[in-house]
Chains A and B, each alone.
Chain A
Amino acid sequence: AQSVTQLDSHVSVSEGTPVLLRCNYSSSYSPSLFWYVQHPNKGLQLLLKYTSAATLVKGINGFEAEFKKSETSFHLTKPSAHMSDAAEYFCVVSDGGSQGNLIFGKGTKLSVKP
């Protein structure tokens, strides 16, 4: 069975400093992995996805994530945080089957201090 664990429920950084949001997954298949962002009172937006191509995945707004099979991790990073990055981030795993088989992590709330 697939599962995903987001290691931090809340991360706080200062504007201009790097962002690291951690995610570990468990999958008996070759997984597809996603990061979504949810701003307050908004729907979810896809940041990036890994689908067994390049292990370093670049997404929107300067975010990227690296798939590490040996560590079963898919951490999200950004070199320099902006105030607009403050939101909740979800790591998601799929077994590659029907679209509905998305397993969401509990989310990491990112705060950005001026």
Chain B
Amino acid sequence: KAGVTQTPRYLIKTRGQQVTLSCSPISGHRSVSWYQQTPGQGLQFLFEYFSETQRNKGNFPGRFSGRQFSNSRSEMNVSTLELGDSALYLCASSLGLAPTSYEQYFGPGTRLTVT
């Protein structure tokens, strides 16, 4: 079974631009979560989608948004990019919502660099 895939793997953008990252979950998984990883802040939860609905959101500004499609694929969008948005963005999928019952499987991440 194929793992979680994220595209693109690397991205360079300029301040003020917007960016869209894509995540394809493992087949049959209905939950997708997004995380931001930076050297300073570590790993931080962005948001979670289940059955095309955002179920939970972390403490990030409204410039960060996402969506999930009927096939469970998810995209996240960052508008008006800032230098501090440079990070590794990780996507994780699981069968269901509860972390105690369903293991999250992480993709390799998208490395975003904002110049």
Contacts and interface: CB of A to CB of B under 8 A. Distances in A.
A41 interface: yes
Interface size class of B (residues with CB under 8 A): 20 to 34
A34 B33 CA distance: 16
Interface stretch (A14-22, A65-73, A100-108): A100-108
16 contacts: A32-B100, A43-B90, A43-B92, A51-B100, A98-B48, A98-B97, A98-B98, A99-B48, A99-B55, A99-B98, A100-B33, A100-B57, A101-B99, A102-B99, A104-B44, A107-B42
Majority secondary structure, B binding face: strand
A46 interface: yes
Interface residues of A, number: 24
A36 B106 CA distance: 10
Contacts of B102: 99
Contacts of A90: 43
Nearest to A52: B100
Interface of B: 3-4, 31, 33, 35, 42-45, 47-48, 50, 55-58, 90, 92, 94, 96-100, 102-109
A94 interface: yes
Interface string A80-92: 0000000000100
A44 B99 contact: no
B44 A43 contact: no
A78 interface: no
